Amino acid sequence: MSGERTVFLIAHTGREAALRSVEGLVHGLLKAGIRIRLLAAEAVDLDLPTGVETVPGGPGAADGCELILVAGGDGTLLRGAELAREHGLPMLGINLGRVGFLAEAERDDLAVVVERVVEADYEVEERMTLDVIVRTNGDVVHHDWALNEASIEKASRERMLEVVTEVDGRPVSNFGCDGVVCATPTGSTAYAFSGGGPVVWPEVEALLMVPISAHALFARPLVTSPDSVLAVEVQPKTPHGVLWCDGRRSVELPAGARVEVRRGQTPVRLARLHRAPFTDRLVAKFALPVTGWRGRADTH
């Protein structure tokens, strides 16, 4: 039937409380006349009414949908970002985990989410992504992408990874380390944050390079132009490493491999329900203490 509206639902189904939240979300949207499509592998864990469309996944899974609705933690939201980027659709995240920086709503906001989706009452913002290339002996052997970060890490616990870092075709430093994280502003509150990198506001266009546990006098986090090309070369006489993109996709890096990271051509689109400043999101997500703040003095 023409004019029918469909959203694609991606859900974390590993916890009982999450299952109940997802089922409530589905019933609310169906009652409002919004069709639901989800992966068949997730549908088997849910008590869903008839009429919910299931698909096996793969290319084109979200064709014809207007929105990717994601209910879960950070890992589920990154999984949703893959589908959102593939189809150019906005992603609306509902946090059923702990931090959920990509999420726009919390578990208690389900009724509001249903109402705003029904009314298509949300704004869409674009987030930078990374294009990632792996070269060995000058040949491209792997091509990937990331929303948060591409991390070059040691593959074994026993020995450090020896690398040389590079920015815009010029060497910066070599050192032994546990890894190097190349991140977007969106990823500055993820793995790069754990490595001591700066928090970068999402509207700032930049690339980050953050060494992890580096044995070097100079191994500071770097913030570069969004047009820069970052590179990390695995030294020839070192154990192999591994490249992780958003902690979801990995490929082995043999000694001598080179990883190049640049701004991605295809952004991820996020649906936003609120205009709250990123500062407020940062304080809320990390439970930062702000007692004693008095605000700017009134000069009128």
Which residues participate in catalysis according to the annotation? Answer: 74
6 among annotated binding-site residues: no
241 among annotated binding-site residues: no
21 among annotated binding-site residues: no
79 among annotated binding-site residues: yes
193 among annotated binding-site residues: yes
- What is the C-alpha separation between 168 and 267, in angstroms, rounded? 22
Distance of CA 251 to the CA centre of its chain: 18
191 among annotated binding-site residues: yes
137 among annotated binding-site residues: no
Q: Are 258 and 136 in contact (CB under 8 A)?
A: yes
105 among annotated binding-site residues: no
148 among annotated binding-site residues: yes
Classify residue 278 as exposed, middle or buried by CB count within 10 Å of its CB (0-12, 13-18, 19+). Answer: middle
- What is the C-alpha separation between 257 and 152, in angstroms, rounded? 11
- What is the C-alpha separation between 240 and 237, in angstroms, rounded? 9
- What is the C-alpha separation between 51 and 64, in angstroms, rounded? 17
- What is the C-alpha separation between 181 and 152, in angstroms, rounded? 6
Binding-site annotation: residue ranges for NAD(+): 74-75, 79, 148-149, 159, 178, 189-194
Binding-site annotation: residue ranges: 74-75, 79, 148-149, 159, 178, 189-194
